[in-house]
Structure 1
């Protein structure tokens, strides 16, 4: 990890892969990850952790399967949302988005339980920025 300031615009410009988060820094035992998103991710669940999203650019939608039924939250640029642990969810970005996430280090991007992973989704615990 860098001991220098990180410009998120430059960090995002350093890779093209979609749904393939890059770790820009760590805070205690949490990764701060950025990702480019377009199209659909995969329905998945993080059993033991919440998942925080901040939309840096574009628009992200997150479908949620909750006890009360299924719903979708719309996150425009600048919006934040936390998916509670144990909630099945699927992010998608019809027109593309850039997203910043906070997750405990080692959290798989496709969760602990998930549907079949499509080829365009990278199942990872995050890549170090620059790789």
Structure 2
């Protein structure tokens, strides 16, 4: 088995679209995905899995039905499975997501922000 170094800055330079997660590594059944976000996402949940958000650069907010949290560079949160949430960022924010392979970014909500799954960079 060989290991390779993954450079976040280098990988983030390979795409510019927002709300379109790109896979950079896989660990067992979990994928690590980089995503650039700006504006508001759609309300959604993931009924079968938790979702990890780690902010690399910028600032974001995650709204919940009864509260909201703000995240900045070097901060993270775990959104528990089944919890409805809506990520947003006023300015572009770069985020590392950790979630099981096959998770659709909009959950069951679907729509124009649903990204193609399993796209590696």
Fold conserved (TM > 0.5)?
A: yes
CA distance in 2, matches of 1:122, 1:6: 26
Moved over 2 A (4+): 121-126
CA distance in 2, matches of 1:126, 1:63: 26
CA shift for structure 1 position 56: 0.1
State the SS of the aligned residue for 1:62. strand
Q: Pick the aligned partner of 2:72 from 54, 70, 76.
A: 76
**Contact 2:45-2:82 within 8 A present in 1 as well:** yes
Higher strand share: 1
Where structure 1 has 5 or more consecutive residues not aligned to the other structure, the ranges are: none
Q: How does 1:85-96 map to 2 (within 5 A)?
A: 85-96=81-92
| Number of residue equivalences | 120
1:24 corresponds to? 24
CA distance in 1, matches of 2:79, 2:45: 9
Where structure 2 has 5 or more consecutive residues not aligned to the other structure, the ranges are: none
TM-score, normalised relative to structure 2: 0.93
TM-score, normalised relative to structure 1: 0.86
CA distance in 2, matches of 1:46, 1:53: 14
Q: How does 1:1-131 map to 2 (within 5 A)?
A: 3-65=3-65, 70-111=66-107, 113-114=108-109, 117-118=111-112, 121-129=113-121
Residue by residue, what CA displacement relative to the aligned partner does 1:2-23 show, whole Å, maximum 9, x if unpaired?
9521110000011011000000
